[in-house]
Amino acid sequence: MDLVIKEGVVVTASEAVEADVGIEGGKIVAVGKGLDAPVKLKAQGCYIFPGFIDVHVHLQMPVGDIVSADDFFTGTVAAACGGTTTVLDFAEAHGSQSLSQAVEERRRQADGQVVVDYSLHLTGNRADGQFLQEIAELAEQGYTSLKIYTTYPGLMVDDGQILKLLETCREAGVLPIVHAENHHMIEHMKERLLREGKTSPRYHPISRPCLAEAEAAQRVLALSALTRTPVYFVHLSCTETLEAVRLARSRGQEVYAEVTPHHLLLSDEEYLRPDPEAAMFVLSPPLRDRSHHSQLWGALARGEIQTVATDHCPWTRAQRERGLGNFTLIPNGAPGVETRIPLLFTFGVREGRLSLNRFVEVCSTMPAKLFGLYPRKGTIAPGADADLVVFDPEEEVTLSWRTLHHQVDHCPYEGWKVKGYPRLVLSRGEVIVEKGEFLGQKGRGLFLPRQKFPVGMAQCVTL
């Protein structure tokens, strides 16, 4: 063994035991007591978690004539400092670009920049024969998830296209992941609000009601039942969508869901702040009424929601303020990749909403299993990558954009106090973060080809 982490409490999705973790060649080789190696790292009083996985980030993402504030270097530094050692971003074909060309372009942007390991979801914004063939071909190369949008021109697809994409995914071993919001309902509401002179950010949540999210989810669930295809909903934000997911599961459908920290912790009260502060909270789906929080936390604890991801998509104040006279022009998204783990530990584990094991399961193990990375990632066991977080449960930190590593000049949780923070972060056996300081090298992260989503797992309704 090259290195051993000693005297911590090793926590996985299924157990928590006092043990040492032995590492050699970037892999975990032993878990037990009394391990020895030339290099020893003390974890006394700390938990040892598997490296956390964020399956939903948007780094260096172009929207019109602007690009999200974190690139692949700064965004993955922020991830690492928050205890996240693997991220999944997206490849989108623009204009006449093929899906393969979009993947190649995204790889050029990321390789040599990322500091943690990463992979890419495909984006299903077309459904012609060549595009569908490329999905199957790319699945063979380890691109085994595909995002489907029901809103946003240039990304959204209609029901007929969704059916073709779902069938292709099922046959190719690709997991469809869905942004569910009814585009026409949103456009109708935006036009009406602007016509009435309601242009400030406080009207953003009114323009994207829970009904729009739930309707799109119900529609996609019907299409996935017809095609007998599993489906995963990103950023589920309200009880109406949760009820649609429950109903589909009661019919035997295989449905997965993720939730974000901001939909668990923040509410639409943020939009009542004076301008320009309210603009800092414009994201989609929007923040909801607090009445949804307890339902989402409960669903997460019970296993009805499988993962917590961030939808990390930060914009600077200057980028956001260009839409102050018209809320529909404010770029949507928020930073979150660095704050996810401290927030979930503080307000989930410490407040009794999540067990330690469930915390690890939703932030590491289930993301790895659903997206073809397990058991290389997502657990602490011999043979797994030595992606590890030595986590001090007593460390108190006040969150602020001035001390976080996101490349933005605001933080949705500015001034919030968290208790529990990463002390050390290891990626493939290398200490890349120590007490909030990034120690790794630019470009050290690896691209991760992923296993196919298991064909035949779906047990859809008999038609």
Q: What is the mean pLDDT of residues 34-52?
A: 98
**Model pLDDT for residues 416-453, shown as the tens digit of each residue:** 999 999 999 999 999 999 999 999 999 999 999 999 99
Summarize the confidence of residues 204-230 as an average pLDDT: 99
Residues 6+ apart with CB under 8 A from 349: 355, 356, 359, 420
pLDDT of amino acid 461? 30
pLDDT tens digit sequence for 263-292: 999 999 999 999 999 999 999 999 999 999
pLDDT of residue 121: 99
Cα–Cα distance measured from residue 269 to residue 267, given in angstroms and rounded to the nearest whole number = 5
118 vs 75: CA distance, rounded Å: 12
Q: Convert 54-86 to b/e letters by CB count within 10 Å (16 or more is b).
A: bbbbbbbbebeeeebbbbbbbbbbbbbbbbbbb
Query: Which residues make Cβ contacts (< 8 Å) with residue 456, sequence separation at least 6?
Result: none
* pLDDT average, residue stretch 383-392: 99
Strands of the sheet with 231-233, listed across from one edge: 52-54, 84-91, 117-123, 145-149, 175-179, 231-233, 255-259, 307-308
Indicate the SS3 state at residue 376. coil
Helix (H, G, I), strand (E, B) or coil at 258: strand
pLDDT at 16: 98
| pLDDT exceeds cutoff 90 at 462 | no
Which tokens is 113 given?
A: 């920049």
Q: What is the mean pLDDT of the chain?
A: 97
- Predicted confidence (pLDDT) per residue in 353-376, tens digit: 999 999 999 999 999 999 999 999
Per the CB < 8 A criterion, the answer to whether 377 and 50 are in contact is yes
Q: Would you list the domain boundaries of the chain?
A: 3-50+380-394+412-438, 52-370
In the prediction, which pLDDT does 454 show?
86
Query: Does residue 48 surpass a pLDDT of 80?
Result: yes
- Please state, for a pLDDT cut of 90, what percent of the chain lies above it: 97
CA 66 vs CA 61, 105, 331, 386, 459: distances in Å: 8, 18, 9, 37, 43
Nearest to 425 by CA among 398, 387, 380, 371: 387
Q: Tell the CATH topology of 3-50+380-394+412-438.
A: Urease, subunit C; domain 1 (2.30.40)
pTM: 0.97
Q: Which structure tokens are listed for 219?
A: 């529609």
Return the SS3 of 54. Answer: strand
Q: What band does 457 get if pLDDT is binned at 50, 70 and 90?
A: very low
What is the three-class DSSP state of 250? helix
The CATH T-level fold of domain 52-370 is TIM Barrel (3.20.20)
Backbone phi, then psi, for 93, in 5-degree steps?
A: -80, 125
What are the residues facing 187 on neighbouring strands?
Answer: none
Judged against a pLDDT cut of 70, whether residue 463 lies above it is answered with no
Q: How confident is the model at residue 218 (pLDDT cuts 50, 70, 90)?
A: very high
Packing angle of the helix pair 239-250, 293-302 (nearest 10 deg): 30
Query: What is the pLDDT at residue 458?
Result: 41
Per-residue confidence (pLDDT) for residue 456, from 0 to 100 = 44
Between CA 452 and CA 47 the distance in angstroms is: 32
For the segment 299-308, the average pLDDT, to the nearest whole number, is 98
- What phi and psi values does residue 372 have, to the nearest 5 degrees? 70, 30
Cα–Cα distance list, 376 to 10, 48, 347, 381 (Å):
17, 17, 29, 9
Residue 459 pLDDT class (50, 70, 90 cuts):
very low
Number of other CB atoms surrounding residue 294 within 10 Å: 12
Q: What is the DSSP letter of 153?
A: T
Once rounded to an integer, what is the mean pLDDT over residues 101-125? 99
